[in-house]
Amino acid sequence: MTEHQEWSAEHIPDQTGRVFVVTGASSGLGLATTRALTRRGATVVLAVRDEQKGRRAARELAAERPDARLEVRRLDLADLDSVRAFARGVHADHPRLDVLVNNAGVMAPPHTLSAQGHELQFAAHHLGHFALTGLLLDLLAAGRDPRVVTVTSINHRRGRIRFDDLDGSRGYRPMAFYNQSKLANAVFGRQLHLRLTEAGSPVRSLLAHPGYSATDIVTGAPTRLHRLLFGVLARPLAQSPDRGALPQLYAATHPGVRSGEFIGPDGPGELRGAPTRVTLAPAATDADTGRRLWDLSELLTGVEYGLPAAGSRVGTAGG
């Protein structure tokens, strides 16, 4: 039995007065996360690419809880102009944020470039969330017990960052570039923790992964092979979105988590189970990779954090 085996959404503390932004909140893990937070009184900004779908989700949640505090705002993470517009809107309406959950994603699409010419999965999973976090960091610093929760995947352990071919022009394989983007999430969450710690910021950076969950990103994979593998053959191993969302909910709300921790399921292979602390792949904690990806991400997004590099001060804490 692990430390957190009995933890469930029912254990989320009262979140009344706290403001969350959840990306990809109209379905899957994002919708499950939003539902659990609203049940505990949180105000949630549903950051969604499809506003109509987001409004349907909000109506569904309001029918369950008429006093739910919900906002629907358009955010296309694969388009940096959309990220900036979203951040401007949030700044206009909110003096502070308490938690940002970087949850949205896509899985194994055909080779596609974003509006700014980046490979779609790297753009949506990493660059968009990197820019969004940086643009909202001042609001988070003003929050109560502020946190950034970045959702990665078990597959980050299979990834490598192709610094010489980030856009896949030399050879694109859908799952290899999915794994790359999820490793980038993990590297970012770790680096953000180190840099916020170095700066003495009150904002905590945490990572989470859902194990294997039956969500649209898996069952709706664009290729027949991936639908067969993930949507049919592996379905008996999958847990529900409500269960899959528990690690990110734990990271976002549990009073005892520390910046830099990585939360995932406690079952075999981390495929399912209750939230517990798990271990990042060595590639995610490599200092050179972290610095290189951070510098490149600031260059590609045009968003500069102004945080000191990890390790620039003696005694930097790690996680």
Dihedral over Cα of 24, 152, 160, 107: its sign: negative
Q: Are 149 and 260 in contact (CB under 8 A)?
A: no
Q: How many residues comprise the chain?
A: 319
- Dig out the tokens for 265 from the structure: 């399921």
The first and second tokens of residue 29, run together, are: 């893990």
Cα 275 to Cα 99, 166, 246, distances in angstroms: 18, 32, 6
Bridge-based pairing of strands 69-74 and 43-48 is parallel
In 3D space, the residue among 101, 125, 115, 93 whose CA is nearest the CA of residue 47 turns out to be 101
The residues annotated as belonging to the active site are: 178
Backbone angles phi, psi at 102, to 5 degrees: -85, 85
Q: Could you tell me the CA-to-CA distances from 83 to 123, 272, 294 in Å, in that order?
A: 11, 32, 18
